[in-house]
């Protein structure tokens, strides 16, 4: 186990320790104890930057080597980018949460334990090379996210949100597991690197497309793509640090990570390209439109996250085209990948700061409703500055980093129209238009967040608390992020070479050997079509913002009601519940006779079906013994008693007839020359008749509970069916013996070996005495059971005699 | 040979008689009729088994004969007790 493994496990270990030491460290806020963990990890991962610029680091820990499941950790550019985001923003979030969550009110041991589990899980997802280990950590993110969303479990909405996110992400996770197993079937390996190396070979496999679709389902559910985005707005019931960390910067990008990771494999297929591009742009548009209709700041940010994730996804989809061109001299399709990675980083920074900003407002004013907020700029100037930077970066305005990645996004969409592959040059224009409209809406909701909150009239009477500027501790984390937003906006090349370039190289492997490839992000790239589009976005977005209150009712009430996917989820769940309830209630009647009907019906269908299907119906009557008159008479007696039992109206008649039948059967044994059987049969028959008589006293009259037997009922048909089935089976089984009987051995050896003349008894106690032993045991158990059932009455009133 | 024919005839007659008793069990107006018919079937069976063991020329079934006679008695007694008291085994009288 290397240092790298320990780095991944470290938060998990801390999560185990935290609840233990929590009791003795009540005076210190638990967050201070946790804070060093992500900081140390962040510094540790920073030390990998020089290594990843030249290649990747691989460490293996044998876990289940027999099945090829090993905890292999690979640090390459893409993993490192994610690891730095997870640990870096993790540190900031932990610091922020120290001031956000009260020491006395909250159960901090739970919070930090969940958070640390999540951190381990997330690091495991991005650093694992083994598919099964990746899936393990993937599920761990779902579970820890479930715990964190339901942190305030006394709230109904929290529980609902946690459940919903769990259902959807676990559904996707299971689909992804299926995809992983298909990859394993195709390549006989769980290692991602080996699978990617074999991409050419498996792209022709029949399982290639199913595996792709299943893995995409997993990625889409995790990354909140349409139509699986519905869990993210409900996950906003979590504490704000959780929303900032999980639902903007890290977990929702796990799907992005998977898509990026498998791009070298699946990008060979046009289905990958089109699915991701279409789903991504749909998500982008849908999220941005929905964000404009919300009043809750966190809900706006949730939809904005959905929309931005769609944007990154679209870029990854477009970037898939780059794998089809060997000549990368012009780099126009690689640009999409660069833009995706860059925007991934940018989004984590500005969205994290925005969530923390909203948390501050919630903390200091008591509400997040933009209808109640306004004019906070003068009271909270620092928060307002942070919000200004965050929202304008999100809207894509210079000089912030969002501007650069948005320019690259628009340029990639423009390049798409030139792509001479998979009809992209004809349909790409549609994606361009959708991307443009979505950008306009993005601009609009960004403006709504900032201006509705911080400008305008102050409505102090609507606020639950008297607003004031937040303490330094709350402001530090978002301020650092906002500074990053600004800094990277002005000096984007600081991260280009050390972080973005290796990441792009691990997504597009052909670039890894290309020494000439260098990313250069220019702040000013001249007047390009993309810049003109940005100008158009700003103009249209401003118009939309100014007219927001006129068209907002239209969006809120009319359009989405028909398209609301969250509602169909709720309906689907309730239909599922009601449906299964109704199904259970119809099938599980509680009547034994119903279950007996099922069993008998299944028996008839299965036995008769297999008799006919396997063609084993064998009705030959050649080797039969001759039937004597006595046999006929006895059979007639049994038939008469049988009919008498079925149609008798009183119990006592049935019992007498049953006794008569039992005696007749013993005569059959006599005829068949089995004196021991006849003896036993007679005794048992008598005893059972007496037993029936014993319990008769306690039973009601027959006719009271049983209606007259009708001839045309299910029961009749089933009995006839069973009779016919058994008869056919017996007739077919007769005369299909393939070997001679082994009974000659017993006949020869009964006296010689076992010193007995009664062959039946010798078999029972000598040759096959073992069965007799256990049949004796059965009788013993039965008698003890009867004794217990009669004597032991725990619930009922005790007998008078026993009390004395 | 004559013995075999005689035995067959006797068996047939006993079978017919068993059928007639069976008719009584099915039709018998009271339970007592049915119980007596069952008892008589038992006695018929004693005779049938005796005839059969002669027919097969074996003494392996003599136990069966004795047993049927015994059990028919027990069965009839328990039925009679049931008809009389409604139950078969009396509980020991409590103090």
B95 in any annotated domain: no
* CB neighbour list of residue A139: distance below 8 Å, 6 or more residues apart: A170, A173
Instruction: Encode pLDDT of A2-48 as tens digits.
Output: 888 999 999 999 999 988 888 888 888 888 989 999 999 999 999 99
Residue A413 has a pLDDT of 85
Instruction: Encode pLDDT of B26-58 as tens digits.
Output: 887 888 888 899 889 889 989 988 998 888 888
Residue A505 has a pLDDT of 84
CA distance A109 to A118: 14
Q: Which residue in B41, B48, B88 is closest to A693 by CB distance?
A: B88
Choose from B26, B29, B54 for mutation: most chain A CBs within 10 A: B26
CA distance A405 to A24: 48
Domain count, chain B: 1
CA distance A120 to A14: 10
> A667–B49: do the CB atoms touch at under 8 Å?
yes
A485, A349 in Cβ contact below 8 A? yes
Buried b (16+ CB within 10 A) or exposed e, A577-590: eeeeeeeeeeeeee
B9 in any annotated domain: yes
Give A369's DSSP letter.
B
CA distance B75 to chain A (A): 6
* pLDDT over threshold 90, residue A422: no
Residue range A661-674: average pLDDT?
87
Chain B residues 6-35 within an 8 A CB cutoff of chain A: 8, 11-12, 15, 18-19, 22, 25-26, 31, 34-35
Which of A73-77, A199-203, A462-466, A555-559 reaches the highest mean pLDDT? A73-77
CA distance B61 to chain A (A): 6
How large a percentage of chain A has pLDDT more than 90?
39
Instruction: Encode pLDDT of A156-167 as tens digits.
Output: 999 999 999 999
pTM given for the model: 0.82
Residue range A177-188: average pLDDT?
92
Q: Which residue in A636, A682, A694 is closest to B71 by CB distance?
A: A682
Give the bridge partners for A58, in sequence order. A74
B36 in any annotated domain: yes
Residue A336 has a pLDDT of 85
A497, A53 in Cβ contact below 8 A? yes
Token pair of A713 as six digits: 């009922």
Q: Which residue in B18, B61, B87 is closest to A637 by CB distance?
A: B18
CA distance A647 to chain B (A): 10
Q: CA A116 → CA A104, A136, B26, B81, distances in Å?
A: 21, 16, 81, 79
Q: Which residues of B touch A648 (CB under 8 A)?
A: 26
> Residue B41: closest CA among chain A residues belongs to which residue?
A660
Residue B3: CB atoms within 10 Å: 10
B93 in any annotated domain: no
CA distance A244 to A232: 12
DSSP states of A80-123 as a string? Answer: HHHHHHHHHHHHHHHHHHHHHS-TTTS-HHHHHHHHHHHHHHHH
Residue A261 has a pLDDT of 92
* pLDDT over threshold 90, residue A459: no
B92 in any annotated domain: no
Q: Which residue in B35, B48, B53 is closest to A656 by CB distance?
A: B35
DSSP states of A127-159 as a string? Answer: HB-BHHHHHHHHHHHHHHHHHHHTSSTTSHHHH
Phi first, then psi: give them for residue A2, nearest 5 degrees.
Answer: -90, 175
A655, A691 in Cβ contact below 8 A? no
CA distance A715 to chain B (A): 23
Instruction: Encode pLDDT of A602-613 as tens digits.
Output: 999 999 999 888
Q: Which residue in B41, B48, B86 is closest to A660 by CB distance?
A: B41
Q: At what angle do helices A651-671 and B62-85 cross, to 10 degrees?
A: 180
How far does chain B reach from its first CA to its final CA, in angstroms? 67
Give the bridge partners for A69, in sequence order. A64
Mapped to the 3 state alphabet, what secondary structure does B42-67 carry? HHHHHHHHHHHHHHCCCCCCHHHHHH
* pLDDT over threshold 60, residue A802: no
* pLDDT over threshold 50, residue A804: no
Q: Which residues of A touch B61 (CB under 8 A)?
A: 670, 675, 678
Domain boundaries, chain A: 267-557, 563-588, 744-804
Residue A660 has a pLDDT of 85
Q: Interior CA angle at A661 toward A660 and A667, to 5°?
A: 95
Coil, helix or strand for A72? strand
Token pair of A208 as six digits: 């290639």
> Residue B52: closest CA among chain A residues belongs to which residue?
A671
Residue range A526-543: average pLDDT?
86
Q: Which residues of A touch B86 (CB under 8 A)?
A: 697
A431, A413 in Cβ contact below 8 A? yes
Instruction: Encode pLDDT of A86-128 as tens digits.
Output: 999 999 999 999 999 888 888 888 999 999 999 999 999 999 9
* pLDDT over threshold 90, residue A491: no
**Matching residue, tokens 């047939």:** B12
CA B63 to chain centroid, in Å, comes to: 15
Residue A226: CB atoms within 10 Å: 20
Task: Between A50 and A624, name the one with better pLDDT.
Answer: A50
Nearest to A634 by CA among B52, B26, B78, B35: B52
> B38–A666: do the CB atoms touch at under 8 Å?
no
> A637–B22: do the CB atoms touch at under 8 Å?
yes
In the structure, what pLDDT confidence band is assigned to residue A600 with cuts at 50, 70 and 90?
very high
Kindly report which listed range (A225-229, A379-383, A512-516, A598-602) carries the lowest average pLDDT score: A512-516
CA distance A553 to A540: 19
CA distance A268 to A270: 7
Query: What is chain A's alpha carbon radius of gyration, rounded to the nearest angstrom?
Result: 38
Residue B75 has a pLDDT of 83
* pLDDT over threshold 50, residue A803: no
- Expressed as residue numbers, the domain containing B43 is 1-87
Choose from B9, B13, B16, B25 for mutation: most chain A CBs within 10 A: B25
Residue range A689-707: average pLDDT?
68
Residue range A763-775: average pLDDT?
92
CA distance A510 to A508: 6
Which of A269-278, A401-410, A600-609 reaches the highest mean pLDDT? A600-609
Choose from B5, B82, B84, B91 for mutation: most chain A CBs within 10 A: B82
Instruction: Encode pLDDT of A199-226 as tens digits.
Output: 878 888 888 999 999 999 999 999 999 8
A488, A346 in Cβ contact below 8 A? yes
Residue A393: CB atoms within 10 Å: 32
* CB neighbour list of residue A143: distance below 8 Å, 6 or more residues apart: A117, A121, A166
In the structure, what pLDDT confidence band is assigned to residue A709 with cuts at 50, 70 and 90?
low
A735's enclosing H/E stretch is: none
Nearest to A678 by CA among B33, B93, B56, B17: B56
> A660–B11: do the CB atoms touch at under 8 Å?
no
Residue A502 has a pLDDT of 85
Q: From chain A, which residues contact B within 8 Å (Cβ)?
A: 629-630, 633-634, 636-637, 640-641, 644, 648, 652-653, 656-657, 659-660, 663, 666-667, 670-671, 673, 675, 678-679, 682-683, 685-686, 689-690, 693-694, 696-697, 801
Residue B92 has a pLDDT of 66
B94 in any annotated domain: no
Please provide the average confidence, as pLDDT, over all residues in chain A. 86
Residue range A313-325: average pLDDT?
82
* CB neighbour list of residue A667: distance below 8 Å, 6 or more residues apart: A634, A678, B45, B48, B49, B52
DSSP states of A486-555 as a string? Answer: HHHHH-THHHIIIIIHHHHHHHSGGGTT-TT------S---S-HHHHHHHHHHHHHHHHHHTHHHHHHII
How far does chain A reach from its first CA to its final CA, in angstroms? 71
CA A504 to chain centroid, in Å, comes to: 30
* pLDDT over threshold 90, residue A311: yes
* pLDDT over threshold 80, residue A185: yes
CA distance A165 to A194: 33
DSSP states of A537-584 as a string? Answer: HHHHHHHHHHTHHHHHHIIIIIHHHHH-HHHHHHHHHHHHHHHHHHHH
A148, A228 in Cβ contact below 8 A? no
**Chains A and B: how many Cβ contacts under 8 Å?**
102
CA distance A23 to A292: 45
Is the ipTM, as predicted for this complex, more than 0.95? no
Residue range A244-272: average pLDDT?
89
B47 in any annotated domain: yes
Buried b (16+ CB within 10 A) or exposed e, A47-57: ebbeebeeebb
With an 8 Å Cβ cutoff, is B88 touching chain A? yes
> A682–B67: do the CB atoms touch at under 8 Å?
yes
* pLDDT over threshold 50, residue A394: yes
B25 in any annotated domain: yes
Q: Which residues of A touch B62 (CB under 8 A)?
A: none
């Amino acid at each position: 186990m290397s240092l790298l493994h320990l780095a991944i496990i470290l938060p998990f270990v801390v999560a185990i320790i935290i609840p233990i030491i929590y009791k003795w460290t009540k005076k210190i806020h638990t967050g201070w104890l946790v804070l060093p963990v992500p900081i140390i990890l962040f510094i540790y991962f920073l030390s990998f930057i020089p290594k990843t610029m030249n290649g990747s680091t691989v460490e293996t820990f044998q876990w289940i080597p027999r099945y090829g499941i090993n905890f292999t950790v690979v640090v390459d550019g893409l993993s490192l980018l994610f690891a730095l985001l997870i640990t870096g923003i993790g540190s900031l979030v932990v610091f922020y949460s120290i001031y956000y969550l009260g020491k006395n009110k909250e159960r901090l041991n739970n919070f930090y334990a969940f958070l640390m589990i999540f951190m381990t899980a997330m690091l495991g997802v991005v650093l694992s090379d083994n598919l099964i280990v990746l899936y393990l950590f993937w599920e761990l993110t779902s579970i820890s996210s479930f715990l964190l969303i339901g942190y305030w479990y006394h709230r109904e909405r929290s529980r609902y949100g946690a459940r919903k996110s769990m259902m959807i992400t676990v559904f996707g996770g299971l689909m992804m597991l299926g995809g992983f197993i298909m990859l394993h079937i195709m390549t006989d390996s769980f290692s991602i690197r080996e699978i990617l190396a074999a991409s050419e070979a498996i792209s022709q496999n029949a399982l290639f497309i199913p595996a792709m679709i299943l893995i995409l389902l997993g990625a889409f559910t995790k990354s909140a793509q349409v139509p699986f985005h519905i869990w993210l707005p409900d996950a906003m019931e979590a504490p704000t640090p959780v929303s900032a960390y999980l639902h903007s910067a890290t977990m929702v990008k796990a799907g992005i990570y998977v898509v990026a990771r498998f791009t070298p494999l699946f990008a060979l297929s046009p289905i990958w390209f089109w699915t991701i591009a279409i789903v991504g742009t749909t998500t982008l548009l849908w999220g941005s439109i929905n964000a404009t209709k919300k009043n809750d700041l966190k809900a706006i940010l949730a939809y904005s996250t959905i929309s931005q994730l769609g944007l990154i996804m679209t870029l990854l989809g477009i970037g898939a085209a780059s794998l089809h061109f060997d000549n990368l001299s012009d780099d126009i399709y690689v640009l999409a990948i660069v833009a995706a990675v860059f925007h991934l980083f940018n989004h984590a920074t500005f969205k994290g700061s925005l969530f923390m900003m909203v948390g501050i407002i919630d903390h200091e004013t008591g509400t997040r409703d933009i209808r109640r907020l306004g004019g906070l700029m003068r009271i909270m100037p620092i928060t307002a500055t942070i919000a200004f930077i965050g929202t304008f970066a999100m809207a894509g305005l210079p000089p912030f980093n969002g501007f650069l990645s948005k320019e690259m996004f628009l340029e990639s969409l423009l390049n798409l129209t030139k792509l001479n592959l998979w009809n992209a040059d004809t349909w790409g224009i549609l994606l361009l238009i959708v991307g443009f409209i979505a950008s306009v809406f993005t601009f609009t909701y960004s403006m709504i967040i900032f201006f509705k909150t911080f400008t305008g009239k102050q409505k102090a009477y609507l606020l639950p608390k008297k607003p004031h500027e937040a303490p330094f501790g709350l402001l530090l984390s978002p301020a650092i992020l906002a500074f990053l937003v600004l800094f990277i906006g002005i000096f984007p090349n600081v991260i280009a070479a050390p972080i973005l370039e290796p990441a792009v190289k691990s997504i597009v492997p052909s670039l890894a050997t290309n020494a000439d490839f260098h990313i250069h992000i220019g702040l000013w790239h001249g007047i390009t079509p993309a810049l003109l589009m940005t100008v158009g976005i700003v103009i249209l977005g401003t118009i939309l913002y100014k007219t927001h209150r006129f068209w907002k009712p239209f969006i809120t009430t009319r359009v989405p009601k028909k398209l609301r996917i969250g509602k169909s989820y709720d309906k689907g769940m309730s239909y599922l519940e009601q449906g299964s309830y109704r199904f259970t209630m119809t099938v599980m009647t509680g009547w034994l006779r119903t279950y007996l009907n099922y069993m008998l019906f299944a028996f008839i269908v299965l036995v008769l079906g297999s008799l006919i299907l396997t063609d084993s119906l064998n009705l030959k009557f050649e080797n039969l013994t001759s039937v004597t008159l006595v046999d006929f008479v006895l059979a007639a007696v049994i038939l008469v008693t049988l009919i008498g039992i079925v149609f008798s109206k009183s119990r006592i008649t049935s019992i007498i007839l049953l006794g008569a039948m039992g005696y007749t059967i013993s005569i059959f044994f006599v005829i068949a020359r089995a004196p021991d059987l006849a003896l036993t049969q007679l005794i048992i028959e008598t005893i059972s008749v007496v037993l029936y008589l014993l319990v008769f006293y306690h039973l009601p009259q027959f006719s009271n509970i049983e209606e007259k037997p009708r001839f045309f009922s299910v029961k009749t048909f089933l009995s006839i069916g069973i009779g016919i089935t058994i008869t056919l089976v017996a007739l077919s089984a007769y005369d299909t013996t393939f070997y001679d009987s082994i009974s000659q051995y017993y006949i020869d050896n009964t006296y010689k070996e076992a010193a007995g003349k009664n062959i039946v008894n010798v078999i029972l106690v000598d040759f096959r005495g073992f069965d007799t032993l256990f049949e004796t045991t059965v009788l013993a158990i039965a008698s003890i059971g009867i004794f217990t059932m009669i004597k032991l009455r725990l619930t009922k009133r005790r007998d008078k005699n026993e009390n004395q | 040979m004559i013995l075999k024919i005689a035995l067959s005839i006797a068996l047939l007659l006993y079978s017919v008689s068993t059928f007639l008793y069976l008719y009584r069990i099915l039709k018998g107006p009271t339970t007592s009729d049915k119980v007596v018919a069952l008892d008589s079937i038992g006695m018929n069976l004693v005779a049938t088994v005796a005839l059969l063991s002669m027919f097969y020329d074996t003494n392996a079934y003599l136990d069966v004969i004795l047993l049927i006679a015994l059990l028919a008695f027990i069965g009839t007694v328990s039925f009679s007790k049931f008809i009389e008291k409604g139950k078969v085994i009396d509980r020991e009288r409590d103090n």
